[in-house]
Every structure is written in C-alpha cells, then in structure tokens.
Structure 1
Amino acid sequence: MHIDQLLHSIDTQMNDNQLTAKLSVSESWSQGRTLFGGLSAALTYHAMKHAITKEQLLRSLNTNFIGPIKLGEEFEITIEVLRRGKNVTQILGRINQDGKAVLSSLACFGTARRSKIEIKNNLQHCMPPPKKANFLPQIPKVTPKYLAQFQLAKTKGGWPFTGNKEASVQGWMRFATPPEVFSDTHLVAIIDIWPPTILQMFKLPKMASTMSWNLEFIHPHLPIANDDWCAYQATTRQASDGYAHTEANVWDAKGELIAISRQVVTVFG
C-alpha cells in the first residue's frame, strides 16, 4: 500500500461539507504495535489541507501520539477549524479508533505577508549526496516494517541497538517508490522515518516511542522532485528519567533548509 493511495482516499471523502475521513492501513506501515507515526501525522495534515486555500502554507504542526493505532482496522480522521483569521488559520485534527482518541494535531497555516525583517538561514550541512541507500536487514520483531517504504543513506551515527556512544544521526532519505508528486504531506511523513537517536546507545532491543512532535516548515522553499534525496541531521539535546529531547534539521537536495523538527521520546530501558 503506497502513501498516495491513502491520500487519494482522503481526497475522495473530504469536501467543504465533509470534514471527516475513514481509513484502514495495512501491516506494511507498522511501527511495532501501531501505525508509523510519520504516516498518521501526514494523513491528519493532509485532511487539514481541505479546509485551507493554496496561499495558506503550513508554518507549524504539533502532534501528540496518544495511543496505538491498530493496523488493518478502520480509524477516523476529524478536523476542526478553531480560528480563521486574516492571515493565519489554526486547525485541530484528531484520529479516533474504537471510540478512543489516539492522535491529536494542531496546525498553523499562514499566508505570506510583507515585512521589513528578513534573515537568511546560514545553517548548512557538509554531507555529499549518496550514491546508493544503506542495506537495512528486515529482522522480525526488531526492524519496523514501515522502513521498507523508504530508503536511508546514513553518514553518521549508528543503527539501533549497536551500543554506540553517540546520540546523534545524520544522513539522507527518500521514498523507495517515488510518489506521483512530492508534496508537503510527503515531507511530513518522511521526516519521521529515522529511529530515535538514543536507540543506537543500547546493546539489546529496547522500546522507545515519540510522545509529542513539533514540526516547523521553512518558507518559501523550492519544489522537491519525487525521487530527490533530503538531508537529515538529528541530535539529542538531553535525556533522563526515561525521556529524551531531540532536534533535527532537514534540507532539500539543493542544500536549502526546509524544516525543523523537535520530539519528546519516551524510553523504556
């Protein structure tokens, strides 16, 4: 099941009078006992786009992963426009399954405005473009199935459960099967594909999951080709008491910063 199939299903269900969509996702998108978080956030964001205009761009997306989303069973995405101002629209998105809330997202969309303040981003990465993706063995009950939907080319850091002393990771990412057109919805999904930075420090498999995720999009940015690699660099700011705070920057293939990501990760070990 490709992500584009799910996005098309949302598009056919939602309109000005219908602010809900029902979906079921196959096991190929599983992340442990739940649906891959990047996909659930992306689907919710895609539903929100039906309540805005093309001029309103995503500025921030705050997602709380409340409970597991069961694969192969129907869930419902509901959106609510909290406020539609002159320049900014704020939308609340929810996913419910079996009558329970499992995800909540708050998005801020804003139109471009004239301003005397303009500060260019000077943060760059020094990673050469990858020649090919890394091989990721599919180890039952260890390697999440959703990773087969993507390609990763790691340049720094370790894979989970390798006993690495670092808590950072750098590399490149893209879809294994390119989407028809790469949109901001695809960008939301792909940013979350990397394993939590702290998992590489364990020598044996341990559980970890994202509790909350803050994502900011940098505009304007150039269109992204459907087979482009995007660069990713993540660090752990602090970790203790079973929680880790991580930050990441994302660049397009041309070296332009396009997103900033922050996560609070629960660690069981």
Structure 2
Amino acid sequence: MAFEEMLRAACDASPTQIQIPQHWGQGRATFGGLLAACLFDKIQPQVAAGRAVRSLMLSFVAPVAPGILDVQIEVLREGKAATQIQATAVQQDQVCAVMLASFGGDRSSAVSVGALPAPAFRAPETVSPFPFIAGLTPDFTQHFDYRYAVGKMPFMGGQETRMGGWIRLRDPGAQATSVAELLCLLDAWPPAVFSLLKAPAAGSSLSWTVSFADASDDCAAGDWWQYLADIQHAANGYSHIDATVWNKHGNAALISRQTVSVFA
C-alpha cells in the first residue's frame, strides 16, 4: 500500500480518531514519524488558506500501540500573522503525545539567510542499501530505502558524532511530497547516538522540534533526500541531536532538534 493510501486509511475514518496500522512499530511503540504525520494530518484542515506550517513541537508522553487513537484538536490562537494549533493524542485514557503546530503566510522581510548547503555525499547508487531484517530491524524500516553515507550504523561502536545519508520512501504514491511524508523521512533514521554504542540498547524520543525551510512543490517522497544528524551533547542518559533534510535541489527542507533518552 502506498504511503498516502495508508495515511488516508488511518486518518479519514473519523475526524476525532486515528487508526494506527500494524507493521509501523519500533520496539513497543509506533514509529514516531508516523504518529507525527497523523497528528499533523488532523491539524491541517483547521488552518486558513495561505498559511503554511512553519514549525511544530511534539512531546512523546507514552508509547502508542496499533489500534484506535483519540485526538483532541484545539485552535489556541488565530492572529493576523500566525495560527497556533494543538493536537493531543489519547489511548486507553492515557495522553500519549502532544503536538503544537505554528502556521503563517509569507511576508516581505529585510532579512534573508540561507540554510547550510547540502553535504557532498557519494551518489546513492554507489552505496549499499541498509537491509530490513524481520525481527531484528524495527518494523517500520521496511517502508524506507536507506543509504548510509556518514557515520556508522546503529550499535557498531563508531567514533563520529555525525550520521546520515540518503533516504526515500519505498512506496510513496504519485503525489508531490506532503508534510506528513517529510516528517516520516526525517524521523525514519535511528538516533545518531546509537551509532556510538557497541551493543543494542533501548532508547526513546522525549521531544522533537521541527522547522520548515524550503517548500519546493516539485519534489516527491520517492526522490532521494539527504539527511545529516549531528550530536550536540550526550550525557547522563540523554542525547540532544540536530538534523537537517535536503531536497533534490540541495535546499534544506526541514531542520530539527530531538531530545532522546538512551538506556545505555
């Protein structure tokens, strides 16, 4: 099933519920990128035309299991310049996640600073794909095509604090890239801190902040996207990781910071 078809099946049955599908898990929880995609899909209809998403913040409160997820949407403020909307996800009377999304229209500005240029990775065709191994790699990774170009794969005892490469959806569908797909592409990579560990260990995201930069409308999730993460700080069981995703034009599309708990 194409990603967009899966998203529609998950989100369209009810305006206040999400049907979390099977085969998108990571450990005992649903893949955080899919959860973010679904919550954003519920928020977007509340936004006036001409206001694009500028940033979102997501707090992961409790694991989300496959099945029904109740969603509460609240428009916190719709001002002249920006709209702020909150989505709260609840499963079995437990708050599981809270998303705060900010939207705004373009306006003229005296300030213009470009994001960092795309890294000079080897071409994806020259890099071996990261394999999906049922029972070993997380279930959700079967939906993505990864090509590592920087740093080590998880639990290989690397020394480099950067990790990244190329990524695309295996079955994106025919439409132009949606915000939901971009969130999944950004979050599909393992936390960069895992590449420093020498043995498998548990970890979980506490919070995630995403800023949206280039909004080119001629890109598809089936294109190759570049991803690079940089560990800013790691100690006392927590890691703070910055990451950027670049589109096929070499323009930064998403910029994120994630706080990850590491149980090792």
Counterpart mapping for 1:101-116 below 5 A? 101-116=95-110
Which residue of structure 2 lines up, in the alignment, with residue 80 of structure 1? 74
Which residue of structure 1 lines up, in the alignment, with residue 163 of structure 2? 169
Aligned pair in 2 of structure 1 residues 99, 231: CA closer, same or farther (>3 Å)? same
Aligned length: 261
The answer on whether the counterparts of 2:230 and 2:241 sit within 8 Å (CA) in structure 1 is yes
1:22 to 18, 23, 42: 18
Does residue 255 in structure 1 map to residue 255 in structure 2?
no
Which residue of structure 1 lines up, in the alignment, with residue 139 of structure 2? 145
Counterpart mapping for 1:183-262 below 5 A? 183-262=178-257
Aligned pair in 2 of structure 1 residues 146, 92: CA closer, same or farther (>3 Å)? same
Structure 1: stretches of 5+ with no match in the other structure: 15-19
TM-score, normalised via structure 1 length: 0.91
Deviation per CA, 1:89-136: give whole Å up to 9, x if none: 000011110011001010001111122222233533112431166131
**Structure 1 residue 209: deviation in Å?**
1.0
Counterpart mapping for 1:64-79 below 5 A? 64-71=59-66, 73-79=67-73
The answer on whether the counterparts of 1:180 and 1:226 sit within 8 Å (CA) in structure 2 is no
**Structure 1 residue 252: deviation in Å?**
0.1
Aligned pair in 2 of structure 1 residues 44, 236: CA closer, same or farther (>3 Å)? same
The answer on whether the counterparts of 1:251 and 1:259 sit within 8 Å (CA) in structure 2 is yes
Deviation per CA, 1:53-77: give whole Å up to 9, x if none: 3411111110011000112x21112
Which residue of structure 1 lines up, in the alignment, with residue 86 of structure 2? 92
Partner letter of residue 142 of structure 2? Answer: A
Deviation per CA, 1:13-62: give whole Å up to 9, x if none: 33xxxxx2231311x10010010001001110111101013411111110
CA RMSD, Structure 1 to Structure 2 (Å): 1.7
Structure 2: stretches of 5+ with no match in the other structure: none
**Structure 1 residue 139: deviation in Å?**
5.2
Partner letter of residue 228 of structure 1? Answer: D
Partner letter of residue 35 of structure 1? Answer: T
Which residue of structure 2 lines up, in the alignment, with residue 13 of structure 1? 14
What is the alpha-carbon distance in structure 2 between the residues aligned to residue 66 and residue 268 of structure 1? 17
The answer on whether the counterparts of 2:181 and 2:221 sit within 8 Å (CA) in structure 1 is no
Query: SS in structure 2 opposite 1:13?
Result: coil
What is the alpha-carbon distance in structure 2 between the residues aligned to residue 53 and residue 22 of structure 1? 23
Q: Percent identity?
A: 31
What is the alpha-carbon distance in structure 1 between the residues aligned to residue 77 and residue 19 of structure 2? 26
Query: SS in structure 2 opposite 1:253?
Result: coil
Does residue 46 in structure 1 map to residue 47 in structure 2?
no
Which residue of structure 2 lines up, in the alignment, with residue 17 of structure 1? none
